[in-house]
Amino acid sequence: MRLNIVCIPGDGIGPEIVTEAKKVLNKVAEKYGHEMVFTDILMGGASIDVHGVPLTDEAIAAAKAADAVLMGSIGGDTNTSPWYQLPPEKRPEAGLLKIRKALNLFANLRPAVLYEELAAACPLKEEISAAGFDILIMRELTGGLYFGERKTVEENGVRKAIDTLTYDENEIRRIAIKGFDIARKRKKKLTSVDKANVLDSSRLWRAVVNEVAKEYPDVKVEHMLVDNCAMQLVKDPAQFDVVLTENMFGDILSDEASMVTGSIGMLASASLNDTKFGLYEPSHGSAPDIAGKDLANPIATILSASMMLRYSFDLDREADAIDAAVKKVLQDGYRTGDIMSEGCKKVGCKEMGSLITERI
């Protein structure tokens, strides 16, 4: 298979971690007989330095022409970098918002996996973390409260702020379909999270999810109120497989789920549109404090590359090979500084990439 991949190395540790992910992908291509064509584009500070803007129209066109985009991270030190003296629409992060909008990325996927080998980093009690967990939080990304009309008015001398939460059934249906499709690739359980005891938008959410569920009789579906879900994520995270939810609930729950894994350098993510296209990136930022020092953990980016193979290209066997190689490296006791623990062997970004590549 020929895979046309646009890469955005970005800023800070971005170029280092993307290089390692490419190394792993090239090995996968060699082993399984694929051709990977990588095209790099500039975004964020790197683009500001060359073009004066965080993302050019040419870069967007290149991303649109690709099958998928693999990104490192963008942005600099927000206190010291001259990029942050620019007006907000010219700063590095504006490039990210622009590309998400241009590519119509409405579904955000964030896995929260507890690796047995990293259980010590998990802030939960041992009797809870012992069962391990592998959760995929699927968040609607372009609707709901963050995109509704908002205003602040003054009535009779009292200031009043209004935010509007709107979803139509098509917005709900398209993400529900994605959620069920992905649950089918996993343990076939989907927990839809809402606040249907209070909100009309949640009642519609629940109704549409139930309609879509009829097309997926092999996937077990349950509904959970968001407040209960927030509790269950720390009480019994092993019960979850795919968690499907709207924008604001997903924003909060995905951060909660990633914190219970305890290791930021391990967290991958994907943003998808209604075709097979997706943008894949680690959940962490550009870590300017350790950039260029060969200290970054490339695993979140390598696992994002694995998600790309699975969700944009349906190459599940190849994605499994990457996930297994990561697990094996951890089992063999190799750690970058951020996940280091006693008795393990400390390695840099490059060596971690090579160790994973060797295990493909």
294, 323, 338, 351: residue in contact with ligand NAD (rule CB under 6 A): 338
297, 306, 312, 357: residue in contact with ligand NAD (rule CB under 6 A): 297
Q: In what order do the strands lie in the sheet with 189-194?
A: 35-40, 2-10, 68-73, 278-282, 268-272, 107-114, 133-140, 242-245, 189-194, 220-225
Counting contacts by CB under 6 A, is residue 69 touching ligand NAD? no
Token pair listed for 178: 């994605």
Counting contacts by CB under 6 A, is residue 78 touching ligand NAD? yes
DSSP SS3 for 124: coil
Spell out where the chain has E strands.
2-10, 35-40, 68-73, 107-114, 133-140, 150-155, 158-163, 189-194, 220-225, 242-245, 268-272, 278-282, 334-335, 345-346
**Least distance to ligand NAD from the beta carbon of 213, Å?**
32
Helices 92-102 and 57-65: angle between axes, nearest 10 degrees: 40
Nearer Cβ to ligand NAD (183/267): 267
Smallest Cα–Cα separation from 304: which of 10, 38, 74, 71? 71
**Least distance to ligand NAD from the beta carbon of 282, Å?**
6
Span from 49-57, 207-215, 232-240, 277-285 in contact with ligand NAD (CB under 6 A):
277-285
Counting contacts by CB under 6 A, is residue 76 touching ligand NAD? yes
Span from 70-78, 147-155, 219-227, 326-334 in contact with ligand NAD (CB under 6 A):
70-78
Contact 224, 244 (CB under 8 A): no
DSSP SS3 for 347: coil
Q: How many CB atoms lie within 10 A of CB 298?
A: 28
Residue with tokens 């623990």: 341
Counting contacts by CB under 6 A, is residue 296 touching ligand NAD? yes
DSSP SS3 for 115: coil
Nearer Cβ to ligand NAD (93/241): 93
Counting contacts by CB under 6 A, is residue 285 touching ligand NAD? yes
48/85 Cα distance (integer angstroms): 12
**Least distance to ligand NAD from the beta carbon of 352, Å?**
10
- Is 255 known to be catalytic? yes
Q: What is the dihedral of CA 55, 67, 26, 185, to 10 degrees?
A: 120
Counting contacts by CB under 6 A, is residue 74 touching ligand NAD? yes
Span from 125-133, 208-216, 253-261, 282-290 in contact with ligand NAD (CB under 6 A):
282-290
Counting contacts by CB under 6 A, is residue 274 touching ligand NAD? no
**Least distance to ligand NAD from the beta carbon of 251, Å?**
13
Span from 19-27, 30-38, 74-82, 193-201 in contact with ligand NAD (CB under 6 A):
74-82
Span from 143-151, 255-263, 287-295, 351-359 in contact with ligand NAD (CB under 6 A):
287-295
Site for ligand NAD in 93-122 (CB under 6 A): 93, 96
Contact 185, 316 (CB under 8 A): yes
7, 182, 242, 264: residue in contact with ligand NAD (rule CB under 6 A): 264
- Is 11 known to be catalytic? no
Given the residues 11, 167, 251, 334, the one annotated as active site: 251
Counting contacts by CB under 6 A, is residue 341 touching ligand NAD? no
Contact 296, 16 (CB under 8 A): yes
- Mind telling me the catalytic residues? 146, 195, 227, 251, 255
Site residues (vs ligand NAD, CB under 6 A): 13, 73-76, 78, 93, 96, 264-265, 281, 284-290, 296-297, 300, 338
